[in-house]
Amino acid sequence: MSKNIDWSNLGFGYVPTDKRFVANFVNGKWDEGALIDDPMVTMSECAGVLQYAQTCFEGLKAYRTEDGKVVCFRPDLNAARMADSCRRLEMPVFPEDKFVDACLAVVKANLDFVPPYGSGATLYLRPYMFGINPVIGVKPAEDYQFRIFCTPVGPYFKGGAKPIVIRVSDFDRAAPNGTGHIKAGLNYAMSLHAIVDAHNKGFSENMYLDPKTRTKVEETGGANFIFITKDGTLVTPKSDSILPSITRRSLMIVAEKYLGMKVEHREVYLDELKDFAECGLCGTAAVISPVGKIDDHGNEICFPAGMEEMGPWTKKLYDTLTGIQMGRLEAPEGWIRVIE
């Protein structure tokens, strides 16, 4: 471990690492791609991404396991989701097998930046693609760049596993029949005002509702919701405009197969939140972040576990998921890709 980084005090930020992967789509085909040193991107002032936000991205992590290996968690699902994002945004798909190979190659080229086991930090990988040639009429670009960089990160929310307070947002995240189900940069651009406003008012995140009826829970700006009923059932919202979180899909399997919980993937109404015993946000960056309180326009929904620690079922889910990721528990077939 040659890098002089204070692993245990890392936040969720950008630390430049040694190598990144770059591939270019020119004349209708992808080149071989390569690992390069230069972290800077140069492009036309009129590039498609700069004019019409033609970009999508992914997020996944590499972990150092208890027995010293370095692994990635389900990168094939990130490859598949990025392909879905590209198709919806009229971008060329980067071949899914090559996507996985490039993720593993980036980790391998930056092994010194994979935080030590037990430090609480992990190596976050950010694959992304954007239209790079000049575009001035509203249409897709012709040339694209696909890149993957990595950066060591700590907890997404300050305080790590301490419950957070969120609010029901008056802003919407994703329109019906829009782009909420893919990882388009534009979904995040339009959430920036809402998150700054939430932070200014003392909330860690926004709970977005379905824009059509404003009665159903969708997700937050960067994570899906999980709820636990008083009798220990995992309930997680279903909607066409929610990003299909790989963490959430994994937790549904973990809950059923490892913890023997009942699992419900269904519409969740705002007015049933008061009946749940526990609430959490799940995602690659968020892992599982417990929610202690939801503010619905001054009406406070407080979960019984309180503001000091996560509830008992959330803790079991957290320990089991991270146990699988860090090699303490046996993973389902195909979930773990060993790099070294």
Active site residues: 183
Site string for ligand COI, 276-315 (x = CB under 6 A): -------xxx------------------------------
User: How close are the terminal C-alpha atoms of the chain, in Å?
Assistant: 14
325 makes contact with ligand PLP (CB under 6 A): no
Q: Which is nearer to ligand PLP, 131 or 283 (CB)?
A: 283
283 makes contact with ligand PLP (CB under 6 A): yes
| Least distance in angstroms from the C-beta of 76 to ligand PLP | 12
Contact residue for ligand PLP among 132, 195, 217, 223 (CB under 6 A): 223
Q: What is the 3-state secondary structure (H, E, C) of the chain?
A: CCCCCCHHHCCCCCCCCCCEEEEEEECCEECCCEEECCCCCCCCCCEHHHHHCCEEECCEEEEECCCCCEEEECHHHHHHHHHHHHHHCCCCCCCHHHHHHHHHHHHHHCHHHCCCCCCCCEEEEEEEEEECCECCCCCCCCCEEEEEEEEEECCCCCCCCCCEEEEECCCCCCCCCCCCCCCEHHHHHCCHHHHHHHHHCCCCEEECECCCCCCEECCCCCCEEEEECCCCEEEEECCCCCCCCHHHHHHHHHHHHHCCCEEEEECCEHHHHHHCCEEEEEECCCEEEEEEEEEECCEEEECCCCCCCCCHHHHHHHHHHHHHHCCCCCCCCCCEEECC
| Least distance in angstroms from the C-beta of 117 to ligand COI | 21
| Least distance in angstroms from the C-beta of 44 to ligand PLP | 28
Interface of this chain with ligand PLP, residues 13 to 72, rule: CB under 6 A: 59
247 makes contact with ligand PLP (CB under 6 A): yes
User: Which of ligand PLP, ligand COI, none interacts with 295 (beta carbon under 5 to 8 A by kind)?
Assistant: none
Q: Which is nearer to ligand COI, 261 or 318 (CB)?
A: 318
Contact residue for ligand COI among 222, 237, 311, 327 (CB under 6 A): 222
Contact residue for ligand PLP among 284, 314, 320, 325 (CB under 6 A): 284
Q: Which is nearer to ligand COI, 77 or 285 (CB)?
A: 285
Contact residue for ligand PLP among 85, 145, 245, 289 (CB under 6 A): 245
User: Which of ligand COI, ligand PLP, none interacts with 91 (beta carbon under 5 to 8 A by kind)?
Assistant: none
Interface of this chain with ligand COI, residues 313 to 332, rule: CB under 6 A: none
124 contacts: CB under 8 Å, gap ≥ 6? 12, 59, 60, 61, 150, 151, 152, 153, 284, 285
Segment contacting ligand PLP (CB under 6 A): 96-104, 126-134, 245-253, 324-332? 245-253
Q: Which is nearer to ligand PLP, 23 or 174 (CB)?
A: 174
Q: For residue 117, how many other CB atoms are within 10 A of its CB?
A: 16
User: Which of ligand COI, ligand PLP, none interacts with 224 (beta carbon under 5 to 8 A by kind)?
Assistant: ligand PLP
Where on the chain is the footprint of ligand PLP (CB under 6 A)? 59, 219, 222-224, 243, 245-248, 283-284
Where on the chain is the footprint of ligand COI (CB under 6 A)? 59, 222, 283-285
